[in-house]
Structure 1
Amino acid sequence: MDRSDWQEKGEGHRQRLRDKFLAQGIEAFTDAEIVELLLTFGTPRSDCKEAARAALAQFKTLPAVLDAAPAELQQIKGIGSKNIFALRFIQGVARRYLRQRIVGKHYVRSSREVADYLIHAMRGLQHEVLTVLFLDAAHAIIDSAVVAEGTVTTNTVYPRELVKAALARNASALILAHNHPSGALSPSRQDEELTRTLHLVCSFMHIRLLDHLIIGSGDQVYSFADQGIMAKIRDDCRPILERTG
């Protein structure tokens, strides 16, 4: 088979994948087919089937392939900078889509969508990131923003800047979320101390801290509110707020 025949066969295969998606949707695709098609966006004249299979063999899951560092991806034969750009770009599009989809929605009724966004945005990160969701008085989501990166503790998160960001958005309530790169879900003592500090600071400014979410590995999310920790923090802090209020 000469090169022109190979390219014609490859283009026919890619067109069949595109037609399959248009006719049946993403659920008809295997993870290998998804990665293959994404890789072809970067190198449309190359056969990316083996590279896609190798990526999944190396990283095990589709999310892990999308979350992989460029240096790790480049170790796989057939994956270069253009392929990596395609993977990172589609991940960025998905992240923006999920983020914009939750804005304006009531948090309680859309908590699953919020979790989907946070999981996608924070899963696989090699360092801790603290994200804040800003809500209005009816608990509709106004915006979200990363407010700290690195080790998330009371020494690295600045309550003044957090309150400033909330006031700038006219937020009445907040939800914190940070990831555990280790994948563990259980909150640390530092996580609880940070939550307590921010609850106090926000309360002084008449801003309510509704929850603190920890993003672990996979699709796991730990909620301080669901586990009763937020209620305990509020009870513990009530005497302090009453004395100073």
Structure 2
Amino acid sequence: MDKEQWQHKGAGHRGRLRDRFLVSGIAGLSDAEVLELLLSFGTPRSDCKEAARALLQQYGTFSKVLDAPPVSLAKIKGIGPKNSFAIQFIQAVAGHYLKDRIRGKRYLHSSKDVADYLIYSMRGLKIEVLTVLFLDSSHAIIDSEIVAEGTLNVNTVYPREIIKRALDFHAAAIILAHNHPSGELRPSHQDIRLTKTLFLLCSCMQIQLLDHIIIGNGTFSFADDGMMTTIRETCQRTLSSLTSS
């Protein structure tokens, strides 16, 4: 089969994949077929079927392929700079879309969208990252920012910087979120201590700390677990004792 015949056959195969997507959406394609189409954007004249299969064999899941670093991707047969760029770009686009989707929405009515964004943005990270969601007085989400990386505790997180950013956004409330690379969901003693410290300082600035969410093998919410209520009551007693003395 000459090159022209192969290209015609490959174009027909990709056309059928595109048609199936238009009819059934992403659910109509296997992970390998999704990757094959994605890689074809980077190298439209190449056969991407084997490269797509090699990616899944190497990383195990579609999400882990998207999370793979460029240096690692370059070691896969059939993955060149253009394919690597396509994978990195679509991963970044997905994260941008999820973040943009939550802006302006009330947190209490879109907690699933928030969880989707946090899980996606923190999934697979090798280090701990602390993200803060900034909310207005109606608890609509203004924006989110990563404010700390590395080992997160009261000695490495700077509350004044978080409060400064909240004031910059004119935020009335914030939500903390960080990941556990180990996958463990239960908060550590350091996580609880950090939450208490930030809650107390935010209260002094009339900013509400609504929740602290941990991303691991799933999600853990201080608010849903009742821990925020306990922390709130403890801090209120502390503040009362300070103002009455």
Q: Is it true that 1:88 corresponds to 2:88 in the alignment?
A: yes
How many residue pairs align between the two structures? 243
Paired with 2:173 and 2:146, the residues of 1 have a C-alpha distance of 16
* Residue 234 (structure 1) aligns with: 232
Paired with 1:224 and 1:179, the residues of 2 have a C-alpha distance of 14
Paired with 2:30 and 2:179, the residues of 1 have a C-alpha distance of 28
Unaligned runs of 5+ in 1: none
Give, in angstroms, the shift of residue 36 of structure 1.
1.0
TM-score by length of 2: 0.95
* Residue 176 (structure 2) aligns with: 176
Deviation by residue 1:7-60 (Cα, 9 ceiling, x = unmatched): 221122122222222222111111111111111111111111111111112222
- SS state at 1:63 partner: helix
Q: Is it true that 1:111 corresponds to 2:111 in the alignment?
A: yes
Paired with 2:11 and 2:36, the residues of 1 have a C-alpha distance of 13
Q: Give the fraction of aligned pairs with identical amino acids, expressed as a percent.
A: 63
* Residue 123 (structure 1) aligns with: 123
Paired with 1:125 and 1:97, the residues of 2 have a C-alpha distance of 19
Deviation by residue 1:108-133 (Cα, 9 ceiling, x = unmatched): 11000000011111101111111100
- SS state at 1:214 partner: strand
- SS state at 2:213 partner: strand
Report which stretch shifted further, 85-94 or 18-27: 18-27
- SS state at 1:113 partner: helix
Paired with 1:160 and 1:21, the residues of 2 have a C-alpha distance of 49
Unaligned runs of 5+ in 2: none
Paired with 1:57 and 1:126, the residues of 2 have a C-alpha distance of 21
- 2:162 maps to a residue whose letter is L
Question: Runs of 4 or more off by more than 3 Å in structure 1?
Answer: none
Give, in angstroms, the shift of residue 84 of structure 1.
1.2
Report which stretch shifted further, 30-39 or 54-63: 54-63
Give, in angstroms, the shift of residue 191 of structure 1.
0.9
- 2:222 maps to a residue whose letter is F
Give, in angstroms, the shift of residue 243 of structure 1.
2.6
Give, in angstroms, the shift of residue 141 of structure 1.
0.8
Paired with 2:49 and 2:211, the residues of 1 have a C-alpha distance of 44
* Residue 137 (structure 1) aligns with: 137
Q: How does 1:26-175 map to 2 (within 5 A)?
A: 26-175=26-175
- SS state at 1:130 partner: strand
Deviation by residue 1:132-178 (Cα, 9 ceiling, x = unmatched): 00111111111111111111111111100100000111111110001
TM-score by length of 1: 0.95
CA RMSD of aligned residues (A): 1.2
- 2:236 maps to a residue whose letter is R
Q: How does 1:196-215 map to 2 (within 5 A)?
A: 196-215=196-215
Give 1:244's match in structure 2, choosing from 230, 234, 242. Answer: 242
Report which stretch shifted further, 132-141 or 2-11: 2-11
Report which stretch shifted further, 20-29 or 206-215: 20-29
Q: Is it true that 1:6 corresponds to 2:3 in the alignment?
A: no
- 2:40 maps to a residue whose letter is T
- 1:15 maps to a residue whose letter is G
Paired with 1:42 and 1:125, the residues of 2 have a C-alpha distance of 26
